[in-house]
Amino acid sequence: KAGVTQTPRYLIKTRGQQVTLSCSPISGHRSVSWYQQTPGQGLQFLFEYFSETQRNKGNFPGRFSGRQFSNSRSEMNVSTLELGDSALYLCASRGRVEDSPLHFGNGTRLTVT
Amino acid sequence: QKEVEQNSGPLSVPEGAIASLNCTYSDRGSQSFFWYRQYSGKSPELIMFIYSNGDKEDGRFTAQLNKASQYVSLLIRDSQPSDSATYLCAVENSGNTPLVFGKGTRLSVIA
């Protein structure tokens, strides 16, 4: 069974630009979550999608948005990039929503210059 | 604000020893508890999960949960240098709420 696939693996952008990250969950998984990981803050929850609907949202500004498609693939978008957005962005999927663990992709390393 | 606290480390143990990693959480309603391992430059990978009070063993790993004390731990027996990584504790209130992660404990196993 293929794991969670994230593209691209690395991105370099400049301040003010926008970026779109993509995530394909494990086949059959309908829940997709996004996390931002930085050395100082650790893993911080961005949002979760289930059946194309946003179920939960973390405490990030509106510049961070996401969506999920009917095939469960998900994208997240960050507009008007800031230097502080440099981070590892991790996507994770889960099978049954209740109790099941998250399975993470390899992440997208975003660098904003 | 739901919090998950871990000692950042580094925790250094000799090869073959038992490594003990601890985690406390603030939300008394938490139901599910997970341990992830993250090697430098890699993504987190699931090691174990535990839902009920007590111990759960899987090979060299044992997870221990005490809901009354709001405490969960991970024991690694016969530690190997390949166990050197950051260990993340994650806690969930219910299946409809997001996992909250601690900042992780860095473990170093010295050969």
Which of A108, A112, A106, A105 has the alpha carbon at shortest distance from A88? A108
Tens of pLDDT, residue by residue over A56-75, are 999 999 999 999 999 999 99
pLDDT band at A1 (very low <50, low <70, confident <90, very high): low
Chain A interface includes B52 (CB < 8 A): no
Q: Which residue has the tokens 């507009």?
A: A79
Asked whether the beta carbons of residue A45 and residue B98 sit closer than 8 angstroms, the reply is yes
For residues B84 and B19, give the distance between their C-alpha atoms in angstroms, rounded to a whole number.
10
For residues B35 and B43, give the distance between their C-alpha atoms in angstroms, rounded to a whole number.
13
Mean pLDDT of B15-26: 97
User: Out of B43, B46, B104, whose CB is closest to A101?
Assistant: B46
Asked whether the beta carbons of residue B49 and residue A101 sit closer than 8 angstroms, the reply is yes
Whether residue A104 is predicted with pLDDT greater than 60 in this model: the reply is: yes
Whether residue B23 is predicted with pLDDT greater than 70 in this model: the reply is: yes
Tens of pLDDT, residue by residue over B39-94, are 999 999 999 999 999 999 999 999 999 999 999 999 999 999 999 999 999 999 87
Whether residue B95 is predicted with pLDDT greater than 70 in this model: the reply is: no
Q: What letter does residue B83 receive in the DSSP assignment?
A: G
- Res A95: pLDDT: 83
User: Out of B42, B45, B101, whose CB is closest to A43?
Assistant: B101
Chain B interface includes A111 (CB < 8 A): no
Q: Which residue has the tokens 């990039």?
A: A81
Mean pLDDT of A9-35: 96
Q: Collapse the DSSP code of B82 into the 3-class scheme (helix H, G, I; strand E, B; otherwise coil) and give the result.
A: helix
Pick the residue from chain B with its C-alpha nearest to A50.
B96
* Interface mutation target, options B99, B100, B105, chain A, most CBs of A under 10 Å: B99
Task: Name the average pLDDT for chain A.
Answer: 94
- Res A5: pLDDT: 97
Chain A interface includes B13 (CB < 8 A): no
- Res B96: pLDDT: 76
- Res A10: pLDDT: 97
